[in-house]
Protein backbone atom coordinates (compact mmCIF):
# COMPACT_ATOMS: atom_id res chain seq x y z
CA UNK A 1 0.00 0.00 0.00
CA UNK A 2 1.37 3.38 -1.05
CA UNK A 3 0.39 6.35 1.12
CA UNK A 4 0.61 10.10 0.54
CA UNK A 5 0.22 12.44 3.51
CA UNK A 6 -1.11 15.92 2.72
CA UNK A 7 -0.76 18.21 5.71
CA UNK A 8 2.19 17.79 8.07
CA UNK A 9 1.34 19.89 11.09
CA UNK A 10 0.48 18.46 14.49
CA UNK A 11 -1.90 15.76 13.28
CA UNK A 12 0.09 14.84 10.18
CA UNK A 13 3.23 14.39 12.24
CA UNK A 14 1.25 12.42 14.79
CA UNK A 15 0.11 10.02 12.05
CA UNK A 16 3.68 9.67 10.77
CA UNK A 17 5.03 9.04 14.27
CA UNK A 18 2.47 6.29 14.87
CA UNK A 19 3.22 4.73 11.48
CA UNK A 20 6.88 4.54 12.55
CA UNK A 21 6.28 3.41 16.13
CA UNK A 22 3.65 0.81 15.22
CA UNK A 23 5.01 -0.32 11.85
CA UNK A 24 5.40 -3.98 12.81
CA UNK A 25 1.90 -4.19 14.28
CA UNK A 26 0.35 -2.31 11.36
CA UNK A 27 2.06 -4.50 8.77
CA UNK A 28 0.91 -7.66 10.57
CA UNK A 29 -2.65 -6.46 10.07
CA UNK A 30 -2.65 -4.72 6.69
CA UNK A 31 0.56 -5.87 4.98
CA UNK A 32 3.48 -3.79 3.78
CA UNK A 33 3.00 -0.07 3.38
CA UNK A 34 5.19 2.83 2.27
CA UNK A 35 4.71 6.56 2.64
CA UNK A 36 5.70 7.71 -0.85
CA UNK A 37 5.09 11.45 -0.43
CA UNK A 38 4.40 14.13 2.17
CA UNK A 39 3.42 17.72 1.48
CA UNK A 40 2.20 20.79 3.29
CA UNK A 41 2.40 24.55 2.88
CA UNK A 42 6.10 24.54 3.83
CA UNK A 43 7.29 22.10 1.17
CA UNK A 44 7.29 18.43 0.32
CA UNK A 45 9.25 15.20 0.18
CA UNK A 46 8.70 12.24 -2.14
CA UNK A 47 10.32 9.16 -3.58
CA UNK A 48 12.73 7.03 -1.58
CA UNK A 49 12.99 8.53 1.91
CA UNK A 50 12.75 7.39 5.49
CA UNK A 51 9.66 8.54 7.33
CA UNK A 52 11.69 9.05 10.50
CA UNK A 53 13.99 11.46 8.67
CA UNK A 54 11.06 13.48 7.31
CA UNK A 55 9.62 13.83 10.80
CA UNK A 56 12.96 14.93 12.24
CA UNK A 57 13.64 17.41 9.41
CA UNK A 58 10.19 19.02 9.80
CA UNK A 59 10.61 19.22 13.57
CA UNK A 60 14.05 20.83 13.42
CA UNK A 61 13.54 23.22 10.51
CA UNK A 62 9.80 23.87 10.58
CA UNK A 63 9.48 22.85 6.94
CA UNK A 64 9.78 20.00 4.47
CA UNK A 65 12.83 19.97 2.16
CA UNK A 66 11.36 19.81 -1.35
CA UNK A 67 9.82 22.59 -3.43
CA UNK A 68 6.86 20.82 -5.06
CA UNK A 69 3.47 22.02 -3.87
CA UNK A 70 0.85 19.89 -2.17
CA UNK A 71 -1.28 20.23 -5.29
CA UNK A 72 1.54 18.89 -7.47
CA UNK A 73 2.10 15.97 -5.11
CA UNK A 74 -1.63 15.18 -5.06
CA UNK A 75 -1.89 15.34 -8.85
CA UNK A 76 1.39 13.73 -9.93
CA UNK A 77 2.43 11.10 -7.38
CA UNK A 78 1.29 7.47 -7.51
CA UNK A 79 -0.46 6.44 -4.29
CA UNK A 80 -3.28 4.16 -3.16
CA UNK A 81 -4.37 6.18 -0.14
CA UNK A 82 -4.21 9.87 0.66
CA UNK A 83 -4.19 10.82 4.34
CA UNK A 84 -5.50 14.38 4.20
CA UNK A 85 -5.01 16.31 7.43
CA UNK A 86 -4.96 19.94 6.33
CA UNK A 87 -6.79 22.75 8.11
CA UNK A 88 -10.58 22.96 7.91
CA UNK A 89 -11.87 25.63 5.52
CA UNK A 90 -15.56 26.09 4.84
CA UNK A 91 -15.09 26.58 1.12
CA UNK A 92 -14.08 24.57 -1.93
CA UNK A 93 -10.35 25.06 -1.27
CA UNK A 94 -10.68 22.85 1.79
CA UNK A 95 -11.49 19.76 -0.26
CA UNK A 96 -9.41 20.21 -3.44
CA UNK A 97 -6.76 17.63 -2.51
CA UNK A 98 -9.43 15.07 -1.64
CA UNK A 99 -11.16 15.58 -4.97
CA UNK A 100 -7.86 15.16 -6.79
CA UNK A 101 -7.18 11.85 -5.06
CA UNK A 102 -10.70 10.48 -5.49
CA UNK A 103 -10.71 11.34 -9.21
CA UNK A 104 -7.55 9.22 -9.53
CA UNK A 105 -9.27 6.30 -7.81
CA UNK A 106 -7.23 6.69 -4.61
CA UNK A 107 -9.08 6.41 -1.31
CA UNK A 108 -8.95 9.28 1.17
CA UNK A 109 -8.68 9.17 4.96
CA UNK A 110 -9.20 12.56 6.53
CA UNK A 111 -9.56 14.51 9.75
CA UNK A 112 -10.48 17.60 7.72
CA UNK A 113 -13.99 18.83 8.56
CA UNK A 114 -14.07 20.64 5.21
CA UNK A 115 -15.91 17.56 3.90
CA UNK A 116 -19.01 19.31 5.29
CA UNK A 117 -18.78 21.71 2.33
CA UNK A 118 -19.79 18.98 -0.15
CA UNK A 119 -20.26 15.73 1.73
CA UNK A 120 -22.67 14.16 -0.74
CA UNK A 121 -20.59 15.20 -3.74
CA UNK A 122 -17.41 13.71 -2.29
CA UNK A 123 -19.15 10.44 -1.50
CA UNK A 124 -20.53 10.19 -5.03
CA UNK A 125 -17.11 11.02 -6.47
CA UNK A 126 -15.50 8.28 -4.39
CA UNK A 127 -18.11 5.72 -5.43
CA UNK A 128 -17.89 6.59 -9.13
CA UNK A 129 -14.11 6.05 -9.09
CA UNK A 130 -14.02 2.87 -7.04
CA UNK A 131 -12.49 4.66 -4.05
CA UNK A 132 -13.60 5.38 -0.49
CA UNK A 133 -13.74 8.44 1.74
CA UNK A 134 -13.01 7.59 5.39
CA UNK A 135 -13.63 10.30 7.98
CA UNK A 136 -13.77 8.87 11.50
CA UNK A 137 -11.33 11.52 12.74
CA UNK A 138 -13.56 14.44 11.69
CA UNK A 139 -16.01 14.04 14.58
CA UNK A 140 -15.19 13.23 18.17
CA UNK A 141 -11.51 12.29 17.86
CA UNK A 142 -11.19 8.74 19.18
CA UNK A 143 -14.92 8.54 19.95
CA UNK A 144 -15.84 5.84 17.37
CA UNK A 145 -19.13 7.35 16.28
CA UNK A 146 -18.77 7.29 12.48
CA UNK A 147 -17.99 3.58 12.26
CA UNK A 148 -20.69 2.84 14.82
CA UNK A 149 -23.25 4.59 12.60
CA UNK A 150 -21.95 3.24 9.29
CA UNK A 151 -21.24 -0.36 10.32
CA UNK A 152 -22.73 -1.70 13.55
CA UNK A 153 -25.93 0.32 13.22
CA UNK A 154 -26.07 0.21 9.42
CA UNK A 155 -29.38 -1.67 9.34
CA UNK A 156 -31.02 0.41 12.07
CA UNK A 157 -33.05 3.50 11.43
CA UNK A 158 -31.21 6.30 13.20
CA UNK A 159 -33.92 8.48 14.71
CA UNK A 160 -31.51 11.11 15.96
CA UNK A 161 -28.14 11.95 17.46
CA UNK A 162 -27.54 14.33 20.38
CA UNK A 163 -24.09 15.04 21.64
CA UNK A 164 -21.23 17.15 22.93
CA UNK A 165 -18.93 17.71 19.98
CA UNK A 166 -16.57 20.42 21.21
CA UNK A 167 -14.15 19.75 24.06
CA UNK A 168 -13.22 23.42 24.58
CA UNK A 169 -16.82 24.40 25.26
CA UNK A 170 -17.34 21.41 27.51
CA UNK A 171 -14.24 22.31 29.53
CA UNK A 172 -15.43 25.90 30.00
CA UNK A 173 -18.95 24.85 30.98
CA UNK A 174 -17.64 22.20 33.36
CA UNK A 175 -15.53 24.74 35.22
CA UNK A 176 -18.41 27.23 35.31
CA UNK A 177 -20.53 24.48 36.85
CA UNK A 178 -17.96 23.42 39.43
CA UNK A 179 -16.25 26.70 40.33
CA UNK A 180 -19.02 29.28 39.74
CA UNK A 181 -16.55 31.47 37.83
CA UNK A 182 -17.50 33.80 34.95
CA UNK A 183 -17.13 32.70 31.34
CA UNK A 184 -14.50 35.33 30.50
CA UNK A 185 -12.15 34.27 33.30
CA UNK A 186 -12.30 30.59 32.43
CA UNK A 187 -11.83 31.29 28.73
CA UNK A 188 -8.72 33.34 29.48
CA UNK A 189 -7.27 30.53 31.61
CA UNK A 190 -8.19 27.95 28.94
CA UNK A 191 -6.18 29.94 26.39
CA UNK A 192 -3.17 30.00 28.72
CA UNK A 193 -3.43 26.23 29.15
CA UNK A 194 -3.70 25.60 25.42
CA UNK A 195 -7.21 24.16 25.72
CA UNK A 196 -8.72 27.10 23.85
CA UNK A 197 -7.30 28.62 20.68
CA UNK A 198 -5.91 32.15 20.70
CA UNK A 199 -8.97 32.99 18.60
CA UNK A 200 -11.65 30.73 20.09
CA UNK A 201 -14.56 32.02 17.99
CA UNK A 202 -15.17 28.78 16.08
CA UNK A 203 -15.39 26.84 19.34
CA UNK A 204 -17.29 29.13 21.70
CA UNK A 205 -19.77 30.37 19.11
CA UNK A 206 -20.72 26.80 18.20
CA UNK A 207 -19.31 26.88 14.67
CA UNK A 208 -17.01 23.87 15.13
CA UNK A 209 -19.83 21.80 16.63
CA UNK A 210 -22.08 22.91 13.79
CA UNK A 211 -19.64 21.71 11.15
CA UNK A 212 -19.35 18.34 12.88
CA UNK A 213 -23.14 18.14 13.10
CA UNK A 214 -23.35 18.55 9.31
CA UNK A 215 -21.07 15.51 8.95
CA UNK A 216 -23.11 13.46 11.43
CA UNK A 217 -26.40 14.48 9.81
CA UNK A 218 -25.20 13.36 6.39
CA UNK A 219 -23.89 10.14 7.87
CA UNK A 220 -27.38 9.26 9.13
CA UNK A 221 -29.02 10.17 5.85
CA UNK A 222 -29.99 13.81 6.39
CA UNK A 223 -28.48 15.85 3.51
CA UNK A 224 -27.63 18.90 5.62
CA UNK A 225 -25.37 21.82 4.83
CA UNK A 226 -23.79 24.23 7.30
CA UNK A 227 -26.33 26.96 6.58
CA UNK A 228 -29.11 24.56 7.64
CA UNK A 229 -27.83 24.41 11.23
CA UNK A 230 -29.34 26.69 13.88
CA UNK A 231 -26.38 27.73 16.06
CA UNK A 232 -26.14 29.47 19.43
CA UNK A 233 -22.81 29.49 21.28
CA UNK A 234 -21.90 29.64 24.97
CA UNK A 235 -20.67 33.22 25.25
CA UNK A 236 -23.78 34.46 27.11
CA UNK A 237 -23.88 31.70 29.74
CA UNK A 238 -23.47 33.03 33.29
CA UNK A 239 -22.70 31.46 36.68
CA UNK A 240 -26.21 32.54 37.70
CA UNK A 241 -27.68 30.37 34.93
CA UNK A 242 -25.79 27.39 36.33
CA UNK A 243 -27.01 28.14 39.86
CA UNK A 244 -30.63 28.11 38.75
CA UNK A 245 -30.17 24.98 36.65
CA UNK A 246 -28.43 23.03 39.40
CA UNK A 247 -31.10 23.89 41.96
CA UNK A 248 -33.47 22.00 39.69
CA UNK A 249 -31.15 19.03 39.10
CA UNK A 250 -29.67 20.15 35.76
CA UNK A 251 -26.41 21.36 34.31
CA UNK A 252 -25.78 23.20 31.04
CA UNK A 253 -23.96 21.73 28.04
CA UNK A 254 -23.52 22.77 24.41
CA UNK A 255 -25.61 20.12 22.68
CA UNK A 256 -25.54 19.37 18.97
CA UNK A 257 -28.68 17.62 17.75
CA UNK A 258 -29.51 16.06 14.40
CA UNK A 259 -32.87 14.52 13.54
CA UNK A 260 -35.49 14.82 10.84
CA UNK A 261 -37.10 17.57 12.90
CA UNK A 262 -34.09 19.47 14.24
CA UNK A 263 -30.58 20.53 13.22
CA UNK A 264 -29.38 22.62 16.11
CA UNK A 265 -26.36 23.50 18.24
CA UNK A 266 -27.18 25.38 21.44
CA UNK A 267 -26.70 25.43 25.22
CA UNK A 268 -29.24 23.03 26.71
CA UNK A 269 -30.32 21.89 30.15
CA UNK A 270 -29.03 18.38 30.80
CA UNK A 271 -30.03 16.30 33.86
CA UNK A 272 -27.11 15.91 36.25
CA UNK A 273 -27.49 12.12 36.09
CA UNK A 274 -27.47 12.03 32.27
CA UNK A 275 -24.49 10.53 30.43
CA UNK A 276 -24.39 13.80 28.48
CA UNK A 277 -23.48 15.65 31.69
CA UNK A 278 -19.95 14.45 30.95
CA UNK A 279 -17.15 16.73 32.18
CA UNK A 280 -13.88 18.19 30.99
CA UNK A 281 -12.72 18.07 27.37
CA UNK A 282 -14.54 14.84 26.59
CA UNK A 283 -16.89 14.40 23.64
CA UNK A 284 -20.02 12.27 23.91
CA UNK A 285 -23.06 11.31 21.87
CA UNK A 286 -26.38 9.56 22.38
CA UNK A 287 -27.69 7.75 19.32
CA UNK A 288 -31.40 6.91 19.21
CA UNK A 289 -32.36 3.95 17.00
CA UNK A 290 -35.55 2.10 16.08
CA UNK A 291 -34.43 -1.39 17.12
CA UNK A 292 -31.32 -1.02 19.33
CA UNK A 293 -32.65 1.65 21.66
CA UNK A 294 -30.34 4.42 22.82
CA UNK A 295 -26.59 3.94 22.48
CA UNK A 296 -24.08 6.14 24.26
CA UNK A 297 -20.49 6.65 23.14
CA UNK A 298 -17.76 8.92 24.54
CA UNK A 299 -14.08 9.65 24.08
CA UNK A 300 -11.40 12.30 23.90
CA UNK A 301 -12.37 14.65 21.11
CA UNK A 302 -9.03 16.15 20.17
CA UNK A 303 -5.27 15.76 20.47
CA UNK A 304 -2.33 14.82 18.30
CA UNK A 305 -2.29 11.09 18.95
CA UNK A 306 -6.01 10.76 19.59
CA UNK A 307 -6.77 12.10 16.11
CA UNK A 308 -3.93 10.08 14.58
CA UNK A 309 -5.33 6.95 16.23
CA UNK A 310 -8.71 7.56 14.58
CA UNK A 311 -6.95 7.96 11.22
CA UNK A 312 -5.07 4.68 11.66
CA UNK A 313 -8.34 2.96 12.56
CA UNK A 314 -9.68 4.09 9.18
CA UNK A 315 -6.54 2.76 7.49
CA UNK A 316 -7.17 -0.64 9.06
CA UNK A 317 -10.87 -0.52 8.18
CA UNK A 318 -10.05 0.38 4.59
CA UNK A 319 -7.81 -2.69 4.35
CA UNK A 320 -10.21 -4.97 6.25
CA UNK A 321 -13.26 -4.18 4.14
CA UNK A 322 -11.48 -3.70 0.84
Catalytic residues: 212
**Which phi and psi angles does 29 have, rounded to 5°?**
-100, -30
Q: Calculate mean pLDDT across residues 61-67.
A: 92
DSSP string, 231-283: E--STT--HHHHHHHHHTTEEEEEEEEEESS-EEEEEEEEETTSGGG--TTEE
Q: What is the pLDDT of residue 90?
A: 81
Q: What CATH class has 158-300?
A: alpha beta
Q: What CATH class has 2-141+304-321?
A: alpha beta
68 exposure class (CB count in 10 Å sphere: 0-12, 13-18, 19+):
middle
On average, the pLDDT of the chain sits at 95
Angle at 86 between CA 150 and CA 207, to 5 degrees: 70
Question: Among 264, 265, 153, which Cα is nearest to 206's?
Answer: 265
Query: Can you give the pTM of this predicted structure?
Result: 0.94
Distance CA 192, CA 98 (A): 34
Q: What is the pLDDT confidence band of residue 264, given thresholds at 50, 70 and 90?
A: very high
- Going from N- to C-terminal start, the domains of the chain cover 2-141+304-321, 158-300
Distance CA 157, CA 288 (A): 9
Percentage of the chain surpassing pLDDT 90? 91
Amino acid sequence: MKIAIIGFGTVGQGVAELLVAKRAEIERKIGDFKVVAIADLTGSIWGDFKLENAIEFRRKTGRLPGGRSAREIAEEEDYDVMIEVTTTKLDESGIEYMRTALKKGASVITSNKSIAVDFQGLMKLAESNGARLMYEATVGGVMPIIRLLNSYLALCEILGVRGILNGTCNYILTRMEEEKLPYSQILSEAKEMGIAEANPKADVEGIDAGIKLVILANTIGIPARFEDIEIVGITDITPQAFAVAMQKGYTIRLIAEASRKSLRVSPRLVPLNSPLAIKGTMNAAMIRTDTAGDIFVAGRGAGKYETATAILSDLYELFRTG
